[in-house]
Amino acid sequence: MFERVFSSDNTAGVSPGIVAALAEQAGGRAVPYGADDVTERVTGRLRDVFECELDVLIVSTGSAANGLALAALTPPWGAVLCHGDSHINNDEAGAPEFFSNGAKLVSLPGDDGKLHPDTLAAAVNRGRGEVQSVQPSVVSVTQATETGSVYSLAELGELTGIARGAGLATHMDGARFTNALVSIGATPADMTWRSGVDILSFGATKNGTMNAEAVVVFDRSKTIELRYRQKRAGQLASKMRFQAAQLDAYLTDDLWLQNAAHANGMAARLAHGLASIPGTSVIGTPRANLLFVTLAESTISSLLVDGFSFYRDRWDPTRVRFVTAFTTTEADVDDLLAAIEAASPPPLD
Amino acid sequence: MFERVFSSDNTAGVSPGIVAALAEQAGGRAVPYGADDVTERVTGRLRDVFECELDVLIVSTGSAANGLALAALTPPWGAVLCHGDSHINNDEAGAPEFFSNGAKLVSLPGDDGKLHPDTLAAAVNRGRGEVQSVQPSVVSVTQATETGSVYSLAELGELTGIARGAGLATHMDGARFTNALVSIGATPADMTWRSGVDILSFGATKNGTMNAEAVVVFDRSKTIELRYRQKRAGQLASKMRFQAAQLDAYLTDDLWLQNAAHANGMAARLAHGLASIPGTSVIGTPRANLLFVTLAESTISSLLVDGFSFYRDRWDPTRVRFVTAFTTTEADVDDLLAAIEAASPPPLD
Amino acid sequence: MFERVFSSDNTAGVSPGIVAALAEQAGGRAVPYGADDVTERVTGRLRDVFECELDVLIVSTGSAANGLALAALTPPWGAVLCHGDSHINNDEAGAPEFFSNGAKLVSLPGDDGKLHPDTLAAAVNRGRGEVQSVQPSVVSVTQATETGSVYSLAELGELTGIARGAGLATHMDGARFTNALVSIGATPADMTWRSGVDILSFGATKNGTMNAEAVVVFDRSKTIELRYRQKRAGQLASKMRFQAAQLDAYLTDDLWLQNAAHANGMAARLAHGLASIPGTSVIGTPRANLLFVTLAESTISSLLVDGFSFYRDRWDPTRVRFVTAFTTTEADVDDLLAAIEAASPPPLD
Amino acid sequence: MFERVFSSDNTAGVSPGIVAALAEQAGGRAVPYGADDVTERVTGRLRDVFECELDVLIVSTGSAANGLALAALTPPWGAVLCHGDSHINNDEAGAPEFFSNGAKLVSLPGDDGKLHPDTLAAAVNRGRGEVQSVQPSVVSVTQATETGSVYSLAELGELTGIARGAGLATHMDGARFTNALVSIGATPADMTWRSGVDILSFGATKNGTMNAEAVVVFDRSKTIELRYRQKRAGQLASKMRFQAAQLDAYLTDDLWLQNAAHANGMAARLAHGLASIPGTSVIGTPRANLLFVTLAESTISSLLVDGFSFYRDRWDPTRVRFVTAFTTTEADVDDLLAAIEAASPPPLD
């Protein structure tokens, strides 16, 4: 039986190696609150991965990671510049405002889910030094974006350069960090601190872990503050080793990279298949594991009848979103393609 | 080899049944954000356990549970009345203040770690209706307390009656809920809503789970608000079923009750053994799984040399805290007792 | 000598009657914190003016009035729907976010400085009931708007109807309330609660007082909460009678209406004069005491040389803003007109 | 007719010179938001008074001054160490918690309304560096205290030395600053920055102004942040010159010093008179303009019948508080003394 769930990668389960790592930690005793060996090992792994000194806070959700990161980079009277479609702006119930004690998210437009340098350049100095105005303090970029596109290193560097030039910090929401990483073939260092990122929300849950994400702090002047914020926000797990063990396994033997490469591959397979079905088209330039696709309304209805799940009804009625995960199989994709093809109206001739 | 860790029950691992439940959930797909079957099942189990309609929010830490519960029960200009030694007052880095947007914790004294009815009665009306004063809004009781004592049902009822009589809600911090429950032999319903508790922080992590706690909402008028607060606080896990599965297993076949009874029994064994060692004395009336004990300073030094870990140095230099867990064995306790006996100075004659 | 200040109405002084009222209160004793006779009298006057039961909080600034009003109408996870050009969105350094503990201002576009019913209708239900989304909670309309336009009663009623239909409250930012009122010739009741306004920020400082504004609460279920918020925000003046006395005099013998009518008249005189100067044009449909005007850049430079002050450089380089006040004289306006005419380039022929 | 109001100094009116200063400013135009000449002049006067470079924020209430000052000196996860009887702890409805986004006020005991060095020394390092604990960040001293006592320079220096030694800042709540100043005969510089004070809430309203207080910033690294906080809190008055003019007149020709010396003198006259009335006693060592006094309950009842107003019912039923103001006359005091004497029970013999 095929899996017909394409609604989100967060519907997937957990990689077997990660479950095994948890089982291994289940016995024995350990120092609580992240002072244990596994948490230390994860920090070491991330230092190796990112080729630099850095600090790590392990948290339970992406919203917490983003909220903590942003709170450390903006005062309450600051502005967070972000894309209008970004998760922090739309999908976290105001978590950034809560964690930051009321900073303002300023949403900017941009094609293909990306911030545009010109728009950003116009925003970074708005109201600077005027007490009547919130103060632009941090740019948040999402990599991969909400539309499945990815920033190139050049694009990232240009944006963070504009930010830095105006005295702003840069946050990267990496809920799908690894999907972007394998997509552009960059090193983790190049796609983050070498591109000017100060704090990264390192997503892992969508890509194989259970409930473990990391705030990766390149600007280590923020670490002490972040540790208090983490505890105060109820994000300092007492048995932290069980979140650390997930990340430890995730970063072992390239599991994280393989999972993301697989999910991306399934999205590419889906895009490739769609290209030969008349009346369908992929929107934008997706390069990760999610696609926005235009389908006939009758096709959409038919897919729903067939038991496929996916997002729709938030946009134009002919637009749907398909997301692949590390557990999606070629057969799952082909099953979806077959259903779309079968349901698509014959081309006009 | 004995475990010589008596510093906290949060150093323990995880019950095997809970690991198995996670493994079982690892494959397959599920709806995210708590709309899955396992989360629904946990809610059902808790309704059975507490014999009433109630709502449940599963969160990752006790600080988050307490913060969310208190925020739902007090406005920002409210006062939370709590014991001076309570965890919310001392050990959460201001999480209640953060979650509640600045409510004030008013700490009250009380012997044996417990709030006293007279002290509470004097506090519940302080400043009522005066705009210059924060408004008493909620009483928070800790069951079992930070000193290992437990409130009887009569004591709880008297406190919540005082609260209710003055229009205040009652929160119970149940980080060691089950330890108290089995200690007094009450039903969950009697120890909570029948005793006047509006929202319970249902602790599980110290007693066998990995990173799953529950906010159990008896006053269901608070549920909608709590769901927004949960998301906004980064506590709505996308793969919620992996926290739910922990609680599901925890509540199956009396695992939670057995774990707590075992931990309590180990503390009782320790207390019993100490009674026959001259120069030692147990402080207060511990009834759960932690003991405060007076030892000679030389004995304390000796235990440290022997590799025992426990809390000290926060109080009188002759005072230490021993905590047992569901994983503590009789041999572990006897090993500690033997070490104390060996190290204790001979009685004066 | 003419006054050449057209930058803002908040550069004006204070009406003589208001100074006299303060002098009259200077001796004697009075109960503090607004329990005095003068404060009570102001509330009575406002009840008469608005023809209904209502409550009043006197505060020192418009930002405080707006912040308190909005905080009472939205939870922290709520959204405040407002025009993108609104003062609360741009010019209060995040005061609404501060007072509301992190609510989100959602800025909407709209011609002529006004919210459009269609745009509002699309926004009031966005994300309703989804925990991932901030919840639309209040619409804030500015009357008169930041561009000098005013809503008609029909327009107000349509907007508040959309709000109410979706369960949202309505706040009116009336920093220039009286300018709008005399402009459309409505009664205060018709322009507020009869049009669906729940809380009004009743501006007075720009129109003649020194530092007194009022939060006029039509939805009296919010009053108790507002009194705590007022004190907590440092807005409950101990010698409240000195702010009350300003409003008392302001509302006596139609001073407030006369001041606003005068200021509006001066803006109309300016607009009328500009109509006959080639190369200038008034933007939008100003009906209150401020005009946005297109001038040749050379004309703008010339006016600056002549010592006129006004806002520019925030928009298109040919756009300036002129604001008249209750103290602006016909001679002041004619002086400005003469200067513009003298500086304007001859029309092409 | 005598004034029989001894409830608070905030029931007094306004010094005539201050009203005159307001009248003088009523005409003409000025730049808004504190960029005017009068505001600049006040800053200059305060620099002269305090003999140092400093920055000034003029605000409308003492709660706002305290809230802003404390918010600049503590992070949200910080602790403000203060006396249990302090105004910030009891009488501001949680304003410090609001302004600071949830910092914790830790109340310390101390005789005579004063913090004791030993108690403070034990508190400044509590929990330092532990993420579970709020971090001691600022000590707030009240000068004069809530009980009418005053700190000597030696006492102040000792307290601020303890604070500074542990890395904490010092805030002075000077709601009755001038009463303390003239009481101990110190210079303003000696009683503030030379004694280690970083930010002062410079009270003026109780001592002669209408609604003008100043945050005097000695630690100028906090000024930029404070300006944003001031605006964001609705405390940046548009017509700031009308608050500045009050302070300008207040600081002219020693008006502030004379007013405070007069009020203190009236309290001393009252204390002196009470000393010869059997059955009455002054509590503590008042040195400013307020006295706590023990009276027979029958005497208290009699005074109330005679129309005197004063605080009682908050403490022991035989305890009352009398406050004198700059407007209290010798005749007012003698009238009160006569009434007490007449009402006092004859001494037992």
Kindly report, residue by residue over B294-306, the tens digit of the pLDDT: 999 999 999 999 9
| Average pLDDT score over residue span C67-91 | 98
A218 CB-near residues (< 8 Å, 6+ apart): A50, A52, A54, A192, A193, A197, A198, A199, A200
For the cut 80, the answer to whether the pLDDT of residue D349 exceeds it is no
Q: Residue B232: list chain A partners with CB under 8 A.
A: 92-95, 98
| Average pLDDT score over residue span D287-306 | 96
For the cut 70, the answer to whether the pLDDT of residue C273 exceeds it is yes
First to last CA, chain D: 36
**D36 to C305, D33, D231: CA distances (angstroms):** 21, 8, 16
For the cut 80, the answer to whether the pLDDT of residue B258 exceeds it is yes
CB–CB contact C65 D12 (8 Å):
no
For the cut 70, the answer to whether the pLDDT of residue B290 exceeds it is yes
H or E stretch including A202? strand A199-202
Of D12, D26, D59, the CB nearest to C14: D26
Q: Which two tokens stand for residue A165?
A: 């030039």
Q: What pLDDT, in 10s, does the model give residues A154-180?
A: 999 999 999 999 999 999 999 999 999
CB–CB contact A60 B231 (8 Å):
no
CB–CB contact C75 B227 (8 Å):
no
pLDDT at position D275: 95
Q: How confident is the model at residue A48 (pLDDT cuts 50, 70, 90)?
A: very high
Q: Which residue out of C24, C29, C89 would a mutagenesis test of the D interface target, given it has the greatest number of D Cβ atoms within 10 Å?
A: C29
Asked whether the bond before A263 is cis by omega within 30 degrees of 0, the reply is: no
Of A131, A225, A231, the CB nearest to D231: A131
Which stretches does DSSP call E strand in chain C?
55-59, 78-83, 104-108, 135-142, 169-174, 199-202, 213-217, 281-283, 290-294, 319-323
* Max intra-chain CA distance, chain B: 72
Q: Does C1 touch chain D (CB under 8 A)?
A: no
For the cut 90, the answer to whether the pLDDT of residue A286 exceeds it is yes
Q: Residue C229: list chain B partners with CB under 8 A.
A: 77
B273 CB-near residues (< 8 Å, 6+ apart): B333, B334, B337
Residue type (1 letter), D226: L
Residue closest to D320 by CA, chosen among D338, D334, D302: D302
Give residues 42 to 81 of C whose Cβ lies within 8 Å of D: 59-68
With 0-12 / 13-18 / 19 or more C-beta atoms within 10 angstroms meaning exposed / middle / buried, residue D132 is middle
For the cut 70, the answer to whether the pLDDT of residue A196 exceeds it is yes
Assign 3-class secondary structure to C83-150.
Answer: ECCCHHHHCCCCHHHHHCCCCEEEEECCHHHCCCHHHHHHHCCCCCCCCCCCEEEEEEEECCCCCCCC
pLDDT at position A315: 86
Q: How far is Cα B271 from Cα B288, in angstroms, rounded to an integer?
A: 11
Which of left, alpha, beta for C300 (phi over 0: left; psi -120 to 50: alpha)?
Answer: alpha
Q: Which two tokens stand for residue C164?
A: 């109410």
Q: What pLDDT, in 10s, does the model give residues D212-254?
A: 999 999 999 999 999 999 999 999 999 999 999 999 999 999 9
CB–CB contact C63 D211 (8 Å):
no
pLDDT at position C348: 62
For the cut 90, the answer to whether the pLDDT of residue B73 exceeds it is yes
Q: What pLDDT, in 10s, does the model give residues D43-102?
A: 999 999 999 999 999 999 999 999 999 999 999 999 999 999 999 999 999 999 999 999
pLDDT at position D346: 76
For the cut 80, the answer to whether the pLDDT of residue B346 exceeds it is no
Q: How confident is the model at residue A25 (pLDDT cuts 50, 70, 90)?
A: very high
Q: How many Cβ atoms sit within 10 Å of the Cβ of residue C182?
A: 23
- On the CB side of D305, CA atoms within 13 Å amount to 10
Of A19, A22, A61, the CB nearest to B234: A61
How do beta strands C199-202 and C213-217 pair?
antiparallel
pLDDT at position C28: 85
Q: Which two tokens stand for residue B280?
A: 């030692």
Q: Residue D232: list chain A partners with CB under 8 A.
A: 76-77
CB–CB contact A8 B65 (8 Å):
no
The crossing angle, in degrees rounded to 10, of helices B241-250 and B16-25 is 140
**A314 to A288, C125, D222: CA distances (angstroms):** 21, 12, 46
Of A13, A31, A210, the CB nearest to B28: A13
- Cβ atoms of residues B287 and B144 within 8 Å: yes
| Average pLDDT score over residue span A218-229 | 98
| Average pLDDT score over residue span C272-280 | 95
Q: How confident is the model at residue C347 (pLDDT cuts 50, 70, 90)?
A: low
DSSP letter (8 states) at residue A211: S
Q: How far is Cα C83 from Cα C76, in angstroms, rounded to an integer?
A: 20
Q: How far is C17 from chain D (nearest CA, A)?
A: 10
Q: How far is Cα A154 from Cα A171, in angstroms, rounded to an integer?
A: 17
CB–CB contact C132 A93 (8 Å):
yes
- Over its C-alpha atoms, chain C yields an Rg (Å, rounded) of 21
Q: Residue D77: list chain A partners with CB under 8 A.
A: 228-229, 232
D43 CB-near residues (< 8 Å, 6+ apart): D54, D55, D56
For the cut 90, the answer to whether the pLDDT of residue A261 exceeds it is yes
For the cut 90, the answer to whether the pLDDT of residue B313 exceeds it is no
pLDDT at position C345: 81
pLDDT at position A347: 67
Of B15, B60, B233, the CB nearest to A211: B60
- Cβ atoms of residues D36 and D248 within 8 Å: no
pLDDT at position A103: 98
Q: How far is Cα B206 from Cα C140, in angstroms, rounded to an integer?
A: 48
DSSP letter (8 states) at residue C250: H
Assign 3-class secondary structure to chain D.
Answer: CCCCECCCHHHCCCCHHHHHHHHHHCCCCCCCCCCCHHHHHHHHHHHHHHCCCCEEEEECCHHHHHHHHHHHHCCCCEEEEEECCCHHHHCCCCHHHHHCCCCEEEEECCHHHCCCHHHHHHHCCCCCCCCCCCEEEEEEEECCCCCCCCCCHHHHHHHHHHHHHCCCEEEEEECCHHHHHHHHCCCHHHHCHHHCCCEEEECCHHHCCCCCEEEEECCHHHHHHHHHHHHHCCCCCCCCHHHHHHHHHHCHHHHHHHHHHHHHHHHHHHHHHHHCCCCCEEECCCCCCEEEEECCHHHHHHHHHCCCECECCCCCCCEEEEECCCCCCHHHHHHHHHHHHHHCCCCCC
Q: What pLDDT, in 10s, does the model give residues C310-345?
A: 999 888 899 999 999 999 999 999 999 999 999 988
Q: How far is C97 from chain A (nearest CA, A)?
A: 5
Q: How confident is the model at residue C349 (pLDDT cuts 50, 70, 90)?
A: low
- Over its C-alpha atoms, chain B yields an Rg (Å, rounded) of 21
| Average pLDDT score over residue span D15-21 | 96
Q: What pLDDT, in 10s, does the model give residues D99-123?
A: 999 999 999 999 999 999 999 999 9
A154 CB-near residues (< 8 Å, 6+ apart): none
Q: How confident is the model at residue C2 (pLDDT cuts 50, 70, 90)?
A: confident
Q: How many Cβ atoms sit within 10 Å of the Cβ of residue A142?
A: 30
Q: How many Cβ atoms sit within 10 Å of the Cβ of residue D109?
A: 10
CB–CB contact C102 A101 (8 Å):
yes
Report how far Cα C148 is from the mean position of its chain's Cα atoms: 10
pLDDT at position D210: 97
| Average pLDDT score over residue span C81-100 | 97
Q: Which two tokens stand for residue B314?
A: 């926060």
pLDDT at position B2: 76
D151 CB-near residues (< 8 Å, 6+ apart): D114, D141, D143, D145, D159, D180
Q: Hey, CA dihedral for D137, D81, D92, B139, is it positive or negative?
A: positive
With 0-12 / 13-18 / 19 or more C-beta atoms within 10 angstroms meaning exposed / middle / buried, residue D195 is buried
Give chain A's count of helices (H) and strands (E). 14, 10
| ipTM attached to this prediction | 0.96
pLDDT at position A346: 76
C184 CB-near residues (< 8 Å, 6+ apart): C150, C152, C153, C191, C287
**D113 to B86, C113, D176, D254, D317: CA distances (angstroms):** 27, 55, 14, 28, 19
For the cut 90, the answer to whether the pLDDT of residue A348 exceeds it is no
Q: Residue C227: list chain B partners with CB under 8 A.
A: 131
The full DSSP string for A111-165 is GGG---HHHHHHHTTTTTT-TTSPEEEEEEEESS-TTS----HHHHHHHHHHHHH
How do beta strands A319-323 and B78-83 pair?
unpaired
Q: Does B8 touch chain A (CB under 8 A)?
A: yes
pLDDT at position D314: 82
Domains in chain A: ranges and CATH: 16-253 (3.40.640.10), 255-343 (3.90.1150.10)
- Cβ atoms of residues C216 and C56 within 8 Å: yes
For the cut 80, the answer to whether the pLDDT of residue A80 exceeds it is yes
Give residues 319 to 348 of D whose Cβ lies within 8 Å of C: 327
C42 CB-near residues (< 8 Å, 6+ apart): C56, C58, C214, C244, C247, C248, C251
Q: How confident is the model at residue A349 (pLDDT cuts 50, 70, 90)?
A: low
For the cut 80, the answer to whether the pLDDT of residue B347 exceeds it is no
CB–CB contact B26 A13 (8 Å):
yes
pLDDT at position B28: 85
* C-alpha angle A37-A39-A42 in degrees, rounded to nearest 5: 110
pLDDT at position A170: 98
Q: What pLDDT, in 10s, does the model give residues B88-119?
A: 999 999 999 999 999 999 999 999 999 999 99
pLDDT at position B111: 96
For the cut 80, the answer to whether the pLDDT of residue B286 exceeds it is yes
